[in-house]
């Protein structure tokens, strides 16, 4: 059942919850997954995003999110100016295939040189869905406290990670594991009802076969 805020949308700056509030959340989610300030962003815009991104302020909203701003931040309208000198941004209109019309692919380079590709859609009312992280199919809403791991695809890894969270009393709301090849790398998304403590993250990082683990708070 849809709630009233799904229908009327959130408090925001700009004309459209899909094209500004959702876009800002997409940018902010990509920033948090990257885990460090970005120095360059190449943003591929699909469908209605591609057609109206300047007029509806989608470009400003995406960049505002990449700078860490929320959708209701008064500075959002000045995001492109604020990014000058600290974040090189390129917008490209592109057909991304059979995806939601309000989809963007955000390609980031961080201060450490880390690269990241996040694909997500603004699905209405300021809500978002991240559908791809670095080529892995995911489904991530930004509504929950989220643990993202990259690990070797082998028996027992998932059980060890979820055991760490269970010991902390963390309830898992949603979980998805994506892999590109059996026995190779896998990416796991765990969305939890409550915050995941930093010491639990440290314990997850010590699980054999876990290569990377990050926490992403709600956006």
DSSP-derived letter for residue 171 is P
DSSP-derived letter for residue 196 is P
Query: 89 is in which domain, residue-wise?
Result: 12-140
Q: Which residue among 140, 172, 187 closes a domain?
A: 140
In this structure, is residue 78 part of a structural domain? yes
Strand partners, 179: 186
Q: How many structural domains comprise the chain?
A: 2
Please state whether beta strands 38-45 and 88-93 pair in parallel, antiparallel, or not at all (unpaired).
Answer: parallel
Least confident of 5-19, 59-73, 117-131, 205-219: 5-19
In this structure, is residue 1 part of a structural domain? no
pLDDT band at 17 (very low <50, low <70, confident <90, very high): low
Who's near 138: CB < 8 A, 6+ residues apart?
A: 130, 131, 132, 176, 178, 187, 189
pLDDT band at 180 (very low <50, low <70, confident <90, very high): confident
Q: Which residue among 114, 140, 166 closes a domain?
A: 140
In this structure, is residue 194 part of a structural domain? yes
57 and 152 co-located in one domain: no
How much is the average pLDDT of 172-194? 95
Q: What percent of the chain has pLDDT over 70?
A: 92
SS3 helix, strand, coil % of the chain, rounded to 5?
30, 35, 35
123 and 38 co-located in one domain: yes
Who's near 209: CB < 8 A, 6+ residues apart?
A: 151, 152, 154, 157
In this structure, is residue 109 part of a structural domain? yes
In this structure, is residue 151 part of a structural domain? yes
Please give the pLDDT value at position 104.
98
pLDDT at residue 106 greater than cutoff 60: yes
23 and 104 co-located in one domain: yes
In this structure, is residue 149 part of a structural domain? yes
pLDDT at residue 123 greater than cutoff 80: yes
Please give the pLDDT value at position 3.
53
173 and 127 co-located in one domain: no
CATH number of domain containing 196: 3.30.70.260
pLDDT at residue 173 greater than cutoff 70: yes
In this structure, is residue 202 part of a structural domain? yes
On whether the CB atoms of residues 216 and 33 are closer than 8 A, the answer is yes
125 and 29 co-located in one domain: yes
């Amino acid at each position: 059942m849809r709630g009233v805020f799904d229908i009327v949308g959130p408090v925001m700056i700009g004309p459209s919850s899909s094209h500004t509030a959702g876009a800002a959340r997409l940018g902010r989610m990509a920033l948090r997954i990257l885990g460090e300030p970005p120095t360059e962003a190449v943003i591929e815009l699909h469908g209605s995003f591609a057609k109206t991104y300047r007029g509806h302020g989608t470009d400003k909203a995406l960049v505002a999110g990449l700078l860490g701003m929320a959708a209701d931040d008064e500075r959002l309208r000045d995001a492109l100016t604020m990014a000058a000198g600290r974040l090189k941004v390129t917008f490209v209109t592109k057909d991304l295939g059979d995806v939601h019309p309000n989809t963007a692919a955000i390609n980031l380079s961080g201060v450490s040189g880390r690269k990241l590709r996040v694909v997500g859609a603004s699905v209405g009312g300021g809500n978002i869905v991240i559908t791809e992280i670095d080529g892995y199919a995911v489904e991530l809403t930004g509504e929950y406290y989220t643990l993202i791991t990259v690990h070797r695809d082998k028996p027992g890894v998932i059980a060890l990670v979820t055991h760490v969270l269970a010991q902390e009393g963390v309830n898992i709301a949603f979980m998805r594991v994506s892999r590109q090849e059996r026995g190779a790398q896998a990416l796991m998304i765990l969305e939890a009802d409550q915050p995941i403590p930093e010491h639990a993250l440290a314990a997850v990082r010590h699980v054999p076969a876990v290569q990377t683990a990050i926490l992403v708070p709600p956006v």
